[in-house]
Amino acid sequence: MSASLKLAVFGDPVEHSLSPRIHTQFGRQFEIDVDYRKIRASIAQLPDSIARFRAAGGQGANLTVPLKQTGLRLCMKLDQAARQASAVNTLVTIDGGWHGFNTDGPGLMLDLSRLGIGVRNERVLIVGAGGAAAGILGPLLLDEPQQVRILNRTAARAIELAERFQHRGPVEGAALNQARVEGEFSLVIQATSLGHDGSLPGIDRNWLTPDAVIYDLNYGPAHQPLASWCAQHALRCHDGLGMLVGQAALAFELWTGQRPDIAPVIEGLAG
């Protein structure tokens, strides 16, 4: 290996993170020796924990639940996606501090492109209005869908999120249990945390076009309930592993200037 990189992901919990495996594999593509640690830190512990990491030579970091909002306050500079989403998932060292980025939404777009799923002129349903939905909305609207509707258990959160992005494209928010137009949506992005408990977000097949595609941000066992529902209804369905690897690839590029190939890494994790 010709170069080395000292990285870490901070979160709580963080033990389950696949990021060390992903970035080690990216490193191999460019002969970079990646030392990528998992560091457990609460919201209160993050400032000290990340300062210690940097003092010990840390060159870049990822933030995961529940630290993406807290991370904003640690950054001297933010990219547009982080500002729009009010959340940071990638930190890059700059003189005297950190530059914060949000690669979650761009990572989803990278994976949709890999899968040949277009957004332009499509009618898109986002189920969920939490941090992940906020992260994907800006990049999604850049691709000019005909319409984006956000449905959420707590309607006020969906409406507030839609209002924040209204100047960027045709987006509206409503309650998850509100009646829909038949055959309305051609792409559904499942962005709730349901699935981890084995349950489904309550999408009605009648809301969808016959050839609608479902993209679930969840992966692994949390994706299984929706995968089974899609199989029952003969719907094309993808899990969020590609988005996870996609956001990681964009972070790796920010740290190294090199864009890794995500396909073999996704295959390796899925296999």
Using CB under 6 A, list all residues that contact ligand NDP.
Answer: 65, 104, 128-133, 152-154, 157, 191-194, 196, 201, 217-219, 222, 240, 243-244, 247
What letter does residue 161 receive in the DSSP assignment?
H
CA dist 71 to 140, 196, 198, 256, Å?
Answer: 23, 25, 30, 21
Minimum distance of ligand NDP from residue 158's CB (angstroms): 8
Nearer to ligand NDP, 32 or 176 (CB): 176
* Per-residue burial over 124-152, b = 16 or more CB atoms within 10 Å of its CB, e = otherwise: bbbbbbbbbbbbbbbbbbebebeebbbbb
Six-digit token string for 97: 């501090």
| Dihedral sign computed on CA atoms, order 124, 125, 129, 135 | negative
Nearer to ligand NDP, 217 or 235 (CB): 217
- Judged on CB neighbours under 10 Å (0-12, 13-18, 19+), 45 is middle
6 a catalytic residue: no
Radius of gyration of the CA atoms of the chain, in A: 19
- Among residues 6, 38, 68, 77, which one is catalytic? 68
Minimum distance of ligand NDP from residue 137's CB (angstroms): 11
* Per-residue burial over 83-117, b = 16 or more CB atoms within 10 Å of its CB, e = otherwise: ebbebbbbbbeeeeebbbbbbbbbbbbbbbeeeeb
Specify which residues 237 forms β-bridges with.
214
Minimum distance of ligand NDP from residue 259's CB (angstroms): 17
Cα-Cα end-to-end distance for the chain: 26
Nearer to ligand NDP, 54 or 201 (CB): 201
Nearer to ligand NDP, 156 or 181 (CB): 156
**Is the bond preceding 13 in cis, omega lying within 30 degrees of 0?**
yes
Tell me whether strands 236-238 and 123-127 are parallel, antiparallel or unpaired: unpaired
Nearer to ligand NDP, 8 or 22 (CB): 22
Which residues are part of the catalytic machinery?
68
